[in-house]
Structure 1
Amino acid sequence: MDFLANTHLHITAWVLGIILFFVSVLLKTGKGQKITHMVLRLVYVFIILTGVALFMVGMDSDMGMLYGFKFLGGILVIGMMEMILVRMKKQKPTTMFWVLLFVFLFITMFLGFSLPLGSSFLA
């Protein structure tokens, strides 16, 4: 599990996930969108695995509750991304989910960069 508890591996996974999400959004319909959506779901699993490994390492510190909030925020970001793609496929409105996605993404990234295991990007 030590290999998965690597901050750079986790950051690479979620950057890849965000790129695949926007590619899937831009494709809207068709076979290419379906393929990128399925690959994105595999990346979700990898993001969650690396996030759980980092969460377990972070719980050893005295900021365990903040790591819990970051973990919850990450799950909510993945949920909003999935809701947007599914609702776009069904041609339903997605405005509320876009707003929630950016709010949860901001909170999660702020916590991730400000906690000790993250990069000192905001310090």
Structure 2
Amino acid sequence: MFYSIHASTWLLVVILFVLSITLRKNTILKILLRISYLVMLTTGIIMLAQFQFPGIYITKGLLAILMIGTMETLLVRNKKGKSTTPIWFLFIILLILVLLIGFNVITF
């Protein structure tokens, strides 16, 4: 049950992030995005406890937290009109890593 909520929330986070970037002035989207972060983190922590904290998923969780940080940085820098190119590269790398770990392509 938590897996499907967690996976759906990941999709929702990505969609809300793209919308928040394109519609800079819409604060409701940003609020919904931040609520989605909380749901994603909560379900992730619950699943970590259920799986007894395997290292790969702890790594995924840490990468996901870093990705949330880059998303927030992108939103702020985009709003202020500052350069975001290096942060976009970091975001894309983190997103790919998190997805590959989530779909069990990367394991250890």
TM-score > 0.5, shorter chain as reference: yes
Deviation at 1:59, TM superposition (A): 2.5
- CA shift at 1:7, angstroms? 0.8
Decide whether the 8 Å contact of 1:59 with 1:67 is kept in 2. no
Partner residue, 1:118: none
More helix by share: 2
Instruction: Give 4+ residue runs of structure 1 displaced > 4 Å after superposition.
Output: none
Unaligned runs of 5+ in 1: 116-123
- Whether 2:8 is the aligned partner of 1:12: answer yes
* CA positional deviation for 1:58: 2.3
Alpha-carbon deviations, 1:57-96, whole Å to 9, x = none? 2226xxx111111111111111111110011111111111
Match of 2:70 among 62, 65, 80: 80
For the residue of structure 2 that corresponds to 1:48, the secondary structure is helix
| Whole-angstrom distance in 1 between the partners of 2:89 and 2:52 | 30
Structure 2 gaps of 5+ residues are: none
Query: What amino acid sits opposite 2:8 in the alignment?
Result: T
Matched with 1:34 is 27
Identity %: 34
Q: Which residue of 2 aligns with 1:44?
A: 37
TM-score (norm 1): 0.79
How many residue pairs match? The answer is 105
- TM value normalised by structure 2: 0.90
Larger C-alpha radius of gyration, 1 or 2?
A: 1
Letter matched to residue 22 of structure 2? L
Find the aligned partners of 2:91 and 2:6 in 1 and give their Cα distance.
Answer: 19
Counterpart residue type for residue 85 of structure 2: T
Distance in 1, Cα, partners of 2:60 & 2:21: 25
Check the 8 A contact 1:87/1:94 in 2, yes or no.
yes
Q: State the distance in 1 between where 2:28 and 2:96 align.
A: 28
RMSD after superposition: 1.4
